[in-house]
Amino acid sequence: MTSITQQCQVVSLLGHSINMAHIRNIRRCAAALACVSLGILAGPVVLATGAAATERSSVAPFPSSNVDLVGFGNGSGQGMGQWGAFGYAALDHETYQWILAHYYGGTTLSSSDNSASTDPTISVDLNENDGDPVVVTSESAFSFGGVLFPGGQAVRAVESQGTWTLSHSAECSSKEWTRVASNVVNPVAVPSSVRPSATLNQVLTICEHDGVDLPVRGTVEAYDSPGGAVTLSILPIEEYVRSVVSAEVSWSWGLFGGRTGSPQGHAWGFQALEAQAVATRSYAAAEIASGGWAAYATSCDSYCQSYPGMADENPMLNAAVRDTAGEILEQPGTPGTPGTPGTPGTPGTLVTPVTPGAPETPVFAEYYASSGGYTVSGEFPSVVDRGDAVCIKSSYFTCNPCHRWLASVPVSAVEKAFPSVGKLAKVEVTQRNGLGPLGGRVVTVEIIGTAGAEVSASSSALGALISVNNQDDCASDWYAVTNGP
């Protein structure tokens, strides 16, 4: 669920070593996520674009070359904070059911007779490949559009006026391709095995235009959408959840907290992994139930879940998905989410009104990296997030780096982002939500120039600048300037 468009990085964790770049990218890509999931703040950096600057009397220039800020959290604050879930699990020994109830107030946990328990198929729009040819390969024999190809071959599908032309070559990056079929309608590539246990050399690998190779379970479709050529990864929802969870949280969380009294024989931190699995599955099930076809991808905006295919699957994470199989969060009616019903590759907004007496429906379970200590009210009630302050000392793990953060943003960067104010004089928070230190999250902020021009912007206006100017890439709408006038 991310930008400011933030990339959902796919990072491999080796042994018990934690790659902090991966931890910093734990997001909430899901729905405002995030990003997900994950992804920090939705909306452009310059949210005041097109708005007229108002005038004040002239004021002195900003007293430093940098705008220094202190802040809390990383992400939207709506729904579940991933670091907080880990803190509650590993330190407080709370179950995943408790964690979900804490963050997603007003919902119920459903384990059967729901839209996910029957393992439906989900179509994943790899939106970073939108508009480009669909190129697949496999180490084993596979078919594409009904044509058989030996292992090691690459096949490219190019769309033109509603149909596709298939060509093959010895490798994805080849400059020379041999045509094998023309005028094919939405061809589907099928690997040698679609079993959940299929290995890397049996599945399809999507060769994306940016040079990324994405091994995926299930099949791949070259789809002619109203918005143009789309690459679809089509697979059972449980296998999709395995992929997303591998990108959203660290499997090593399942090693912390001790085993005394823990469910399922795992250490208590495993409960945070299970909570993530349910949130991921709920969000996907809600998208399916609503008729939407939102963009899920390995690089995405704030309205998608990070999907790295099967490359980062891990036995610990797979166990969390398996132990919660079919479980989703539900509530009466559908709260609505970003997405476009039935149209992959096209941004938009899908909002289904809540109908009194309507049957239970899947919840768009938003999540993000760190709340800073308070979640934000919206689809779910705001709660104190004590778990967000998690700090576990060990040889390979420290603390939540984004519970409290510092950033130093060059004045020149602020002036470039808000050119209408001219030379910067002041960054002034004008409204907060009242929850937590500093008076809580920023609601509105004013960027003021020395000539008196000022721009009122929303809370996320500084998000990208904050993220790239602190050592842990943290950013949220909960901050204060510490060195301004």
User: What's residue 28's pLDDT?
Assistant: 31
User: What's residue 396's pLDDT?
Assistant: 65
Grouped pLDDT means (10 residues each) for the chain, 485 residues: 30 28 34 27 32 63 97 96 97 98 96 75 90 97 97 97 96 95 97 96 94 94 92 94 95 94 94 98 89 67 81 95 95 51 34 50 94 96 97 80 97 95 95 96 95 87 93 95 93
Q: Give the chain's radius of gyration (CA, Å).
A: 23
User: What's residue 53's pLDDT?
Assistant: 52
Closest CA to 333 of 360, 367, 309, 308: 360
User: What's residue 19's pLDDT?
Assistant: 34
